[in-house]
Amino acid sequence: MNHINNIADMTEAILQLVSSEGYLPMNLADMMQVMTLEPGDFGLLSEAVDLLCGAGELVTTKHGKIASAASVGRITGTYRATSHNYGFFSPDNGGEDMFIAVENSLGAMNGDRVQARRIKSDSRGAEGEITLIIERAQTELIGSFHIDELRERLPRKNRHTKKGARLPNPPTKLIAYVTPDDPKLRMRVNIPPSMKGGAHDGDKVLVKITRYPESDRLGRFGDAAGKVLRVFGDAESKGANYESILYANRIRTEFGDDARTEAKQVAALPIVPDGRLDLRDKIIFTIDGADAKDFDDAISVERRDDGYLLGVHIADVSYYVKQGGALDNEAFERGMSVYFADKVVPMLPEELSCGSCSLNRDSDKYALSALISLDSDGGIVEVSLHESIISSKMRGVYSEMNSLIAEPDGEFRDKYSFLFPDTLPLLLEVYEKLKRRSDARGSLDLETAESDFILDKDGMPVDVVLRERGAAERMIEQFMLCANEAVASWLNTMGIPCVYRIHEEPSPEKIQNFSMFAYNLGLDITPLRRRKILPGAYREVMAEAREKGLDSVLTTVMLRSLMKARYSPVASPHFGLGCELYCHFTSPIRRYPDLAVHRIIRALLQGKLDIDKMESFAERAADKSNENELRVMNAEREIEDLYKILWLEGHVGEEFDAVISSVTSFGFFVELANTCEGLVPIGSLDGYFDYDVKSLTLTCGRTIYHLGDRVRVRLVSCDRVTRKADFEVVE
């Protein structure tokens, strides 16, 4: 007889049995016999079966027999809820998604790991039901705290009175509950009196879920139960909403004691040129926004007989932030700095981000310098990387540089006099060469309208305006792109690990959808029918759209058709930029993947590179950076939406010119000239409108709403909690 004395070995033995050829469902007693287990192993066998059933690997049939989940059509995956009475099941194996009606959801919440089975399929797709909730995605939620008065039912004996007598008022009691901010969480969370955590009616709170809801066969959700862990403040206040967004996206606002102590220590280190390339006599300078405080990058340019020498000098953050230290651990978890309208949550403490690391004017600073030799057409000939010491000669400002480029003899001539007569013309010359090469290889223009906020003394938005982007911004962008590409190619040629920035080609289905939309706009889609789709094909279609004034709408659809760029330790092309290799090298103060690349380069330059160790580090840094990027982007978007809603609240009832930015089955979204957005609900439109998913239109008779149409709308309402606005069409 076999004796198994631990749960891991028992679960492995069970899985081997149920997956073996010819296995038929059997009860526990039969399993004991087939596995030739000792009588004392029955308890462990039962425990292991329960564990595997809970994990979705096994099921117990109605006759009490054990079978593999797959053998009875049960599959595991993730439940994706919507704000409506349904959701979708996405299987782990990458198969077809299944529609899940609320009555078949078993009370699953958005993101839960679940087991499901298919119940029917038709031309519209597959429909299923959730059979098991394996793991809850959310143990906490954020929402609004409410206290309501509830009248209790009178006991039956007190309901009957003498004729003409008044019934006594039934007693009342106060009930407390939380409504989640997330519209996909269609429930409320009851809060027992002892679990209110000091919350008051109308507060924004963080709740720990102590009991999850269930749905009945009619699709009605029961209530969950929970405990208030934190009170953010009045749910209508800007501060409470701001703080709750940071918490929901795991944005750290405070540094740990160890990190602060280490930052103070390394910030006090003296700057000495020993062993570094001394570039302090070179004309090196920064150009950034007027409100910038951390300066990652500086540039220099020289003319050579056979072309140019472009210098891109990046703050040597890796000198101060040592791998495995408290600062490094903090930066690794944060991933990148987070930028809001009036605040920055930095990746590194200010002693470093705005002090020792920052390339401030007239200060000796450590840098990693990429000296890039370009030919007369702007092509990269070679790059050399150096630990350097520099001193920035100028703190350039984008807006001033744009004025200077437009009017060289204008008001900023004296301030930037050292750029004349040679440096500014040379900068523009190199920029034009780089831009021409970028365009020639099909690099996509992924620039979209971005907003800036004008705030009052209390930090409330008084206006939302388009962010200006001129020649100076585009010039610096080209120089940084050039450096990032050159460094990635250099590391790859040397066979050195790297955290690459990659961008895969769009899928055939996405290309087809984009092609059909462009075709419906009357554009020539011949470039998109080629066997090999290059970014240049998109550029050709976008160029025609620009000529016809359709570029804004088509840009939105194009971006949806593209894959998302990501970090990877494996070298792969960047489709959007049209280059074979690319990495992020130029922003180590505010992005961890850049810091990781710097650390690898410095180890190589110092002869201390451990290939195996750095390969493992690059993989971990890439995975964590992808995770952090999603968090940070979501937080920045939600905060931006909050500021936009705060501004819109002062304009309810006003009319605006807008463009239809998205069309759905429940209405269409409009975007104002300043990028504020909102929904025109289909119920607010006169008539019955049909939605066409292929052409992205809503049609009622001769009235058709297309993506990109210009409409006149009136702002009807705003919701600060959900950060949503509703509009109506003005006839």
Q: Which H helix or E strand runs over 50?
A: helix 42-54
Cα separation, 404 vs 415, whole angstroms = 10
Cα–Cα distance for residue pair 319/368, rounded to 1 Å:
10
Residue spans of alpha helices (H) in 525-657: 535-547, 551-561, 592-605, 611-648
Side chain identity at 726, as an amino acid letter? D
Domains of the chain: 7-70 (1.10.10.10), 73-135 (2.40.50.140), 140-157+168-235 (2.40.50), 257-391+398-501+573-636 (no CATH), 505-562 (no CATH), 652-729 (2.40.50.140)
Write out pLDDT tens, residues 659-693.
998 899 999 999 999 999 999 999 999 999 999 98
SS (H, E, C) 382-399: EEEEEEEEEEECCEEEHH
φ/ψ of residue 189, rounded to 5: -115, 110
Q: Is residue 727 within 8 Å of residue 678, measured between CB atoms?
A: yes
The radius of gyration computed from the CA coordinates of the chain, to the nearest angstrom, equals: 31
User: Of 316, 354, 357, 562, which is closest to residue 444 (Cα–Cα)?
Assistant: 562
Give pLDDT, residue 215. Answer: 63
Peptide bond before residue 421 is cis, with ω within 30 degrees of 0: yes
Tokens representing 432 are 């034009």
Report the C-alpha dihedral over residues 679, 682, 686, 687, rounded to 10 degrees: 160
What is the pLDDT at residue 716?
Answer: 98
pLDDT at 65: 93
Q: What does the buried/exposed string (b/e) look like for 157-192 if buried means 16 or more CB atoms within 10 Å of the residue's CB?
A: eeeeeeeeeeeeeeeeeeebbbebbbeebbbbbbbe
DSSP 475-486: HHHHHHHHHHHH
Ranges of residues in the chain with a pLDDT under 50 are: none
The pair of three-digit structure tokens given for residue 86, joined into one six-digit string? 């349904």
Task: Note the pLDDT of residue 481.
Answer: 98
Q: So what's the pLDDT on residue 156?
A: 59
Q: What is the pTM of this model?
A: 0.88
- Predicted local distance difference test score (pLDDT) of residue 62: 84
pLDDT attached to residue 184: 87
| C-alpha to C-alpha distance for 225 and 207, rounded to whole angstroms | 9
pLDDT at 446: 75
